[in-house]
Structure 1
């Protein structure tokens, strides 16, 4: 293991690690290849399903609407999000080493937080889109035009990047001395702060502030949007109209509950109250399981996407027979 020693200081108490060791699933070596197969299959499924959604929303004329534009961006972020963590985890399962340089750990953490934050912001934008579509349908084409849609997505990226970059720098400015073993399968905030031998009060405060800004505030905006949506839907006289309106929102609501449930448990509670095993289990949920469920939820519960998928299958079948 590599270490950097401060000149003239005690070797036992002032050692700063230049690399970490991701323990991952080293406590269950007998399940190594089974876990590798399961996670590889899940990863490929996530890539394929989200890739199909992106393809359909870009090529099918019926899906050239703001709702599917945001869904396409969401699928792109999902692909990037899982790619930051799962390939590294698969490599560690194969090699059973888990060593990761300090810089690589910082880069991974930065992208995990950035892409995770982007998902929350995009879910908020998608809720706003549904609010305008259902509560102000006559003004919808004007309010949610192509330029506005692009600006909303760009605003999400512009707002999240500097905050995440600054927070990552702050976390890795801490001294990491002594043990350099991270009981996790990727570089995440809670296990990293547990290894820091300096005062982490400022870091924890910054995390809570960022959680409020990028998790709780968007969540409140989503609640407000859907409160107005539900009130508007209940005013509809047609049962068919109410059913159609609810069906367009139900998939998004399910995804919101899944995301915010795991994120709140993981980051909003004091880290001392959270066991390492529970932290890893929750991380598996929001890094693998939820990204796996999201395209399935949006596909199976969305008639437009199902129709577009059948069209694509027909085209592929026709092309294959010629």
Structure 2
């Protein structure tokens, strides 16, 4: 009974291999009918500039049996043997690009501006003197001396020193002294230029340039002040006293260095540093922080300007001597 039931099922349900062969024969029959009737297999639209799709479409339309009678275990890549020259597969399809915003975007990232400045032997200090800035500046100075110990180095300064704009301490005084010591060890001429603000230790770096090569923009500011005690937080009183003594020592060192580079006495520098001492470009030149103001034509204008006595003489005003 079981045998009689299994026999019809075996004959009625085709196997997977027989179904594939039946499907292949039906496709071949359809292709033969279409070829006898002169009809072509409808193909989807293809890119006319794609060599692979164009060749494949032409073969499928003219001789579809080449596609249907392919061996399943072929060693060649799929449809690669349809080409007379397989090197066409290595050529990407030439697709027309649409004109859009992306066509005008740069093909490479923007240049590294600090590296470009370094290539021009320019070191720019544009942040407070924190450890990361000190490390970068000293490394750039050492690199420029190694590249050419005879060419000058240009340091542009726009820094608030070891403090922020609001006066809060962000770095230790050793950061400014470290850059200063590195500048003093260089064999190159150092041209310093103040382009915004040179406050505290940044003013010391401005004054530490080579004599005659210290410049300042006409609207830049310079300021010298006493070092500040960092935030003590929860430090005990004994530690606060130690920090205060260290700040006093740093103040004396700063006074001595400023007196050395500005040509003033230590007493004069110490007196003006009792409170924040601001200087514009003209006052900084008179105090000895810089040597020249970088204002085109200003030096000639100031040299040609008449003194008050000459103005009075030219105007016919006679000055009476005091009795």
Do Structure 1 and Structure 2 share a fold, with TM-score over 0.5?
A: no
Of Structure 1 and Structure 2, which has the larger fraction of its residues in strand? 2
Of Structure 1 and Structure 2, which has the larger fraction of its residues in helix? 1
* The structure with more radius of gyration: 2
TM-score under structure 2 normalisation? 0.22
Indicate the structure whose relative CO is greater, using CA pairs within 8 Å and at least 6 residues apart: 1
